[in-house]
Structure 1
């Protein structure tokens, strides 16, 4: 992991923020987001909103964000529809017919690039583009099946198996793509995150010089950032759970970790090697025998009230993740986690890391 003695707002000029699981869940804003993003803007960081969800137009997303207390214009929003339309416009002439399996977000993005959206395989489309739609039905999938079998290029805006919601994960575009993949025997080209096309489109539209990708998914946001050579901040308000972070493969490992988007406003302490493990702030995670033992320095435990120890809560994850990754990279299986003191036990329980 990277460290910084300064807030991330001072290191990066544009935050490329995922939406579902980072800014909102469904149509409910996540706690602390409006104030944190307002502060980030006040400190000079520009915000761009980058989503694999192709169901809304940029104008609709901007309206939702503004209503939730995060003022945004349509030009601040980049969706996977933009990336898919960009990909297709690079390969087919203006006016080419593209079969749409999705919503108005895809229709508008294709039209912006000079392509012609159609809705029947009888229109002889050169391509099929499939994006998330909560109302996708059998009839639409059937049109896509016919077009694909007739030789149309199949493009998926993303392969996310789920979308976060206040009720927990729900089927995402990847789940609907899987139905068509199973039926057709074909594989789509995926242009959303983690494909570099998505973040390249985001960097281009936002004119970022030092972008920071902020996301909640390891397999899309974080991998996409790595493939696009962007720094990344993982927030734990969406899909990724602490155990997922500890088990992350190298391509899925974030540069920074925070509980939520307030991590943009914070410094990020160094995670450094100590005897047999790693230390971050007052937290140490050390491999001892068959266990990965976590402890918090007594001075830190005694100087603050429990409610003020949020730094140690995140530092515990940083130290544990670095230790778990080192064990994995050495070809060993991660040992079970145990607490060396009461405060460590409380934090492990808070992160659901009690084993």
Structure 2
């Protein structure tokens, strides 16, 4: 069982853990663009012995395509180092269905490939009497595809979503994700689906088993998917502040969403992580920086600009207060930079 709060590591994380389960968008890259320090940090982490598996809620792409994009961004990767929500969805289907069962796939090529590879017959219509519907994101999905899924689920087919992310990042901003499209089927049928992607820990478990890892570390940018999945699977989780969730979100996080480590970017894989400790007058101190909660309001020390150790101290102070029954007033928590 991992700690309910932050963890300490006197060694760099790349040396303390044997496998990093690395999210893609917001961690390894942003859309089709590189993220500063991602390539150098991951290459160096590998050189120190840390194995990598890239874990994504995207079910539309083949693992080979994902590995190719990473390699083009100077993060060398092979298809067997990629775990997609499509693969997790197919694994979830196998828990209840026999090989050869008919599955209506509403999604992209990656999901079709994964479902077929799991031994199921892929069909395209509710009229083919599928016993399950596997739904994943694809940018060209249309009303007709959602209608077929609705007809099948209303007829008794098991609805399995690759993930339920409501939004996804694009070069122009955030667009509707698979969860939004799944929501249309749920609204029409009243049936809640099973979900294979994060925050379910299914993908993490599959990746850990495939790698034979003993000390895995989850690395992500979203508290509600990456880090929630780490908590639910009882894996240590590192939150990097290069994507969706912010340092302020960390401070205000509910227990099931809290990271175990926090860092500005992937360079933190190459660094030790000090643990905040309780000091005098309610202050929580971390590497010379401090924070406390007084009368429900977060206070930060005034020793200099914000930094990652201030974030760590603020998390410790706010979480201790919340767990003690006196949560911090969100209005008192500023945007924090690392």
- Does TM, scored on the shorter chain, surpass 0.5? yes
- What is residue 337 of structure 2 aligned with on the other side? 351
Provide the residue aligned with 2:48 in structure 1. Answer: 43
Cross-structure match for 2:122: 117
Stretch deviating more after TM superposition (288-297 or 25-34): 288-297
Q: Which residue number in structure 2 is paired with residue 344 of structure 1?
A: none
Quote the residue 2:3 is aligned against.
none
Deviation readout 1:20-74 (Å, 9 max, x if unpaired)? 1111111112111110100001111111000111110101101111111111100
Residues 65-144 of structure 1 aligned to structure 2 (within 5 Å): 65-144=70-149
SS at match of 2:284: strand
Matching residue within 198, 202, 209 for 1:204: 209
Residues 208 and 286 of structure 1: CA distance in aligned 2, closer, same or farther (over 3 Å):
same
Q: Give the alignment's TM-score, normalised by structure 2.
A: 0.93
Aligned length: 331
Q: Which residue of 1 aligns with 2:325?
A: 331
Q: What do you get for the CA RMSD once the two structures are aligned?
A: 1.7
Superposition pairs for residues 151-230 of structure 1, below 5 Å?
151-230=156-235
- 1:286 shift after superposition: 2.1
The counterpart of 1:5, out of the listed 5, 10, 33, is 10
> Does the aligned pair in 1 maintain the 2:248–2:335 contact within 8 Å?
no
Tell me, what secondary structure is at the counterpart of 2:256? Answer: helix
Instruction: Report if aligned partners of 2:19, 2:215 keep a CA contact under 8 Å in 1.
Output: yes
Cα distance in 2 for residues equivalent to 1:164 and 1:314: 25
Q: Which residue of 1 aligns with 2:244?
A: 239
Query: What 5-or-longer segments of structure 2 have no aligned partner?
Result: 1-5
Task: Give the alignment partner of residue 268 of structure 1, picking from 254, 265, 273.
Answer: 273
Q: What is the rounded CA distance, in whole Å, between the counterparts of 1:154 and 1:68 in structure 2?
A: 36
Judge conservation of contact 1:89–1:113 (CA < 8 Å) in 2: yes
Q: TM-score, normalised by structure 1?
A: 0.89
Report matched runs for 1:277-316 at 5 Å. Answer: 277-289=283-295, 291-297=297-303, 313-316=307-310
